[in-house]
Amino acid sequence: MSKNHRGAGIRTLPAKGRGTCPICKNENIKVLYEKEIDGQTVNICKFCNANLKNKARAEVAAAAPAAEEAPAEE
């Protein structure tokens, strides 16, 4: 399993990958995940990355049952 977001891979980044997350405003946190937000590509922390993924997964799950629950005509 790849470990791109810790150790030797982040030592070459400025401040070793640490900064302020633009979403949650936490300071001195690893901001290693690139996401496009409002048309701009920004680096966010792993907690905000997971939160965005969970929200997207919930939206897909909410839309899927609605399509399956269409009344079947006999």
Whole-angstrom Cα distance, residue 49 to residue 19? 15
**Alpha-carbon gap, residue 17 to 33, rounded angstroms:** 10
- Averaged over 3-14, what is the pLDDT? 82
How long, in residues, is the chain?
74
User: How many Å apart are CA 51 and CA 3, to the nearest integer?
Assistant: 20
In this prediction, residues 30-53 reach a mean pLDDT of 94
- How many angstroms separate the Cα of 64 from the Cα of each of 42, 58, 60, 61, 68? 30, 10, 6, 5, 7
Q: pTM of the predicted model, to two decimals?
A: 0.75
